[in-house]
Structure 1
Amino acid sequence: MTARLRHQVRIMLDDKIALGPGKATLLEAIGRHGSISAAAREMGMSYTRAWALVDAMNRCFRQPVVLTVTGGKRGGGAEVSATGHEVLRQYRAMEKAANAALDGPFDGLRPLLRDQAEPSDNSA
């Protein structure tokens, strides 16, 4: 079986990942659910991990990408801000452009790769 060749777009701010595929998917899930915890459940990650990713994104952009409301009688919530929607739109456009630009070069790289990656030796 031939392995799937893929690439990922990551936006780096110094040594921090401001946005990548996982964070973009998390933003979309928060937008659907209005909740960080529900988005985390959908993605199979802990609330703590999801909150850390949201916090990291909010620290990388000039304006927060996710706005939160603290719980109470009616519970808390979260929403993707206008900045968050624009960041996500720009990121998905960059992914689309990268996919289009790399179609040809990936075809040239395919014959040089193994059919699948060899198992790693964790003793090294």
Structure 2
Amino acid sequence: MTKPAPLKPVLRIDFPPGDRLGRGKIELLEHIRDTGSISAAGRAMDMSYRRAWLLISDLNRMFREPSVTSQRGGREGGGAALTPFGEELIRRFRQMEADAAAAMRADLDWLETARSTDD
């Protein structure tokens, strides 16, 4: 019998009236950081360029400072880069995830022991 994957809390921050910050947008930022490209970041997450661009547009609108700067294609090609704020946003979100998991560790352990292993 295969052991099930461990329980994992998922962090999402709601910004009323309807914006959200969660692991998907943060992962997209990480891919942009790693690839220098919104389209490559979208492909890495199996999403269209348009969807990736809309998510980045949302992020840039949600905060006083942009998370990503982009340059249109041309002879040298386009590209995208994280701003210092975007880098800090990733760092802080990942730290919030770790802090939340640590705070819930005893309860997660309890849930894990009570979890059914039936498929």
TM-score by length of 1: 0.83
Task: Give the equivalent residue in structure 1 for 2:109.
Answer: 107
Q: Contact 2:11–2:22 at 8 Å: present in 1 too?
A: yes
Q: Contact 1:11–1:20 at 8 Å: present in 2 too?
A: yes
Higher mean Cα deviation, 27-36 or 6-15? 6-15
Task: Give 2:87's match in structure 1, choosing from 73, 85, 89.
Answer: 85
Give the superposed CA RMSD: 1.7
Q: Matches of 1:41 and 1:116 in 2, distance apart?
A: 35
- Distance apart, 1:36 and its partner CA: 0.2
1:16 has 2:19 as partner: yes
Q: Matches of 1:46 and 1:114 in 2, distance apart?
A: 38
Task: Give the equivalent residue in structure 2 for 1:41.
Answer: 43
Structure 1: which 4+ aligned runs deviate by more than 6 Å?
Answer: none
Higher mean Cα deviation, 4-13 or 65-74? 4-13
Structure 1 residues 38-67: Cα deviation after superposition (integer angstroms, max 9, x where no partner): 111112111111111111111111110010
- Distance apart, 1:3 and its partner CA: 5.5
Structure 2 gaps of 5+ residues are none
